A = this chain, B = another copy of it.
Amino acid sequence: MKNITKSVQEEVTIKFAGDSGDGMQLTGDLFTNDTALTGSDLATFPDFPAEIRAPAGTLAGVSGFQLHFGSKKIYTPGDTVDVLVAMNAAALKTNLNRVRAGGTLILNEDGFDTKNLRLAKYEAGENPLEDPRLEDYEVFKMNVTKLTRECLKDSPLGTKEKDRCKNMFVLGFLLWRYSRSMDSVIQFIDTKFKGKADIQEANLLTLKAGYHYGDTTETFTTTYEVKSAPLDKGTYRSIMGNQAVVYGLVAASQKSGLPLFYGSYPITPASDILHSLSALKNFGVKTFQAEDEIAAICSAIGASYGGNLAVTGTSGPGLALKGEAMGLALMLELPLLIINIQRGGPSTGLPTKTEQADLLMSLYGRNGESPIPVVAAKSPADAFEAAFEAARIALQHMTPVIFLSDGYIANGAEPWKFPKSSDIPEIKIKFAEGKDRNDGIPYQPYLRDENLVRPWALPGTPGLAHRIGGLEKEDITGNVSYDPANHEHMVKTRAAKVEKIADFIPEQSLEMGVEQGDLLILGWGSTYGVIKSVVNELLNKGHQVAHAQVRYLNPFPKNLGDMMRSYKKVLIPEINNGQLAKVIRDKYLIEVVQYNKIMGIPITHAELRDFAAKLLGEI
């Protein structure tokens, strides 16, 4: 029995990288779930290859999954990788630059044969396994494929199927390496392959083989442990951003008592929302895959007219197509939630990459004076509450609302202390009540309440028959009106109605930091994690800094201006060319500092920290 030392680590970043076919996403998910169960905090970031599957083994075909976990608060998936698992040459080539010097490489030697090397575009004769640069790392080579086939030699499965178990070997090994039990994964395998005895058996065998490989092989002398993190008490689950949106919508449906309607046209990275919702029919969720984005939003407008909680979802190019119909919803003053999972633009751009691409289009991308509230999620878990809020605003203020997320939030995962349904607030709705159609009193669809909100009168309600449309309407009666004064009144009223929503949202709060001081780092959306981790570090270093993340982008919280003015400088980091910065400058005439990264990937801790530190130096 070899003796094994166990070392405790505060945080680790592991990257699983392999061919699209190697099941790295699943491996990452399973290891993430098991990590979550240990109570560590964590953040993940999958990076898929571009939409179309490239041939196996090629650089374009590499699929990766990065997990950052620790016994302290974890805000980002990690700048640099401590442990890289590379299933083939292409995976090593595309990811080596991300591994910190001294990091660990776990390589599947079977993925480095001449074919793999050629596909990974290595020169003939060149072999990375012999690359001297590898000396800067702790390298473990194992013949995952061979070992897998061996341990399955008695299995009735064909080689192709056997090889599909490869990832279980790796997973088993890592579970051992991080002092975990195999229970959670075994449970998964049992349920996932229920009824497929052979496959179930094979996966189990391979998993255990990998686990014991670590245990028995002499080369491995250390295991590691990452203890649980100081998270708030409670029950947690792991959640991805698009999933959280789905739950937020269903919650809004249940809490408002309105059936949920989702009209959409598939588009990366929003499609998963359609997929998940279409599986929730027992919640009364109706999904409609329309012929295009225009039909999708129009179907949602029709459903809203009919009294449903109506939602349409898309990504940038689709949102660009919905502009005209958004204007209609705005004129009709019907509740409508427009979900935009942002991706790299312009045009088709970078469909699988993340970008805070569409804030300006969300605010201004329609003809005429057409104010629409905008709400943004800041993290995978936050997407639940943000989507719920967006739906609430749409329903209670009778207006289209745009909800913004992005590819990073959509596909990222984190622990979520999910609420009890009984703790989720009701969304009070009242439809206009029917009356005697012969009482001679014409119904007035545009008579507003104190919040400038018009009544929601459903077709089918006795006595309320009325006509609405996209032409300018007369105040109160809703009749078509070309009257000049009425037009100005209505334009201003529609604007005031949206402004008024500021009375029904919380004031802007600080995520952390000093109430006033040198630097406020102001973010929106998916920059949340990196800003928080940077501000955390700067605070620890004793800087007078703070972090605020804006969820409500239109209207802004009332106190936002004053908050910003309490700091010598305001820094706005964005994964775009400075869209929030534009809006802030316009609205508050504050000379903000921008930090922009437009690479389709998140800002790293180091990048932002160095920039902020420099800025603080100048103060």
Contact = CB atoms under 8 A, between A and B. Distances in A.
A542 to B, nearest CB: 32
A324 B328 contact: no
Interface stretch (A184-192, A215-223, A363-371): A363-371
A347 interface: yes
Interface string A335-348: 00000000011111
Interface in A451-476: 469-472
Nearest to A49: B482
Contacts of A364: 360-361, 363-365
Contacts of A365: 320, 323, 361, 364-366
A485 B484 CA distance: 51
Given A365-B365, A482-B600, A586-B586, A321 B323 contact: yes
A344 B491 CA distance: 10
Contact of A346 (B358, B368, B576): B368
Contacts of A601: 484
Contacts of A323: 320-321, 323, 361, 365
A235 to B, nearest CB: 38
B368 A349 contact: yes
A327 interface: yes
A585 interface: yes
Interface stretch (A66-74, A525-533, A591-599): A591-599
B585 A344 contact: no
Interface string A425-466: 000000000000000000000000000000000000000000
A471 B472 CA distance: 39
Contacts of A469: 348
B589 A320 contact: no
A557 interface: no
A358 B344 CA distance: 25
Interface in A352-389: 352-353, 355, 357-358, 360-361, 363-370
A324 B315 CA distance: 12
A488 interface: yes
A583 B598 CA distance: 22
Contact of A472 (B350, B577, B585, B587): B350
A494 B319 CA distance: 22
Contacts of A472: 344, 349-350
A577 B371 CA distance: 11
A369 B445 CA distance: 39
Interface string A473-500: 0000000001011011001101100000
A358 B327 CA distance: 12
Interface in A228-244: none
A576 B364 CA distance: 13
A331 interface: yes
In this complex, the member of A321, A323, A357, A591 whose beta carbon has the largest number of chain B beta carbons within 10 angstroms is: A323
A316 interface: yes
A26 interface: no
B320 A495 contact: no
Given A487-B600, A491-B598, A586-B586, A324 B321 contact: yes
A346 B321 contact: no
Contact of A470 (B319, B348, B370, B599): B348
A225 B360 CA distance: 55
A320 B324 contact: yes
A445 to B, nearest CB: 16
Contacts of A369: 345-346, 357, 576-577, 598
A368 B406 CA distance: 12
Nearest to A316: B367
A50 interface: yes
Nearest to A491: B598
A597 B488 CA distance: 7
A295 to B, nearest CB: 13
A586 B345 CA distance: 22
Contact of A345 (B350, B370, B600): B370
A300 B416 CA distance: 50
Contacts of A347: 324, 327-328, 330-331, 367-368, 370, 470-471
Contacts of A316: 367-368
B582 A470 contact: no
A317 interface: yes
Contacts of A591: 589
Interface in A530-576: 576
Contacts of A319: 367
Nearest to A323: B320
B367 A320 contact: yes
Given A491-B598, A597-B488, A50 B482 contact: yes
Contacts of A330: 346-347
Nearest to A484: B599
A264 to B, nearest CB: 16
21 contacts: A50-B482, A316-B367, A317-B327, A319-B367, A321-B324, A323-B323, A327-B347, A328-B348, A330-B347, A331-B346, A331-B349, A346-B366, A347-B367, A350-B471, A350-B482, A358-B368, A364-B365, A369-B598, A484-B599, A488-B597, A491-B598
Given A331-B348, A350-B472, A585-B589, 8 more contacts: A346-B366, A348-B471, A350-B487, A358-B367, A365-B366, A485-B599, A488-B598, A492-B577
The 3 tightest CB contacts between A and B, nearest first, are: A345-B368, A316-B367, A484-B599
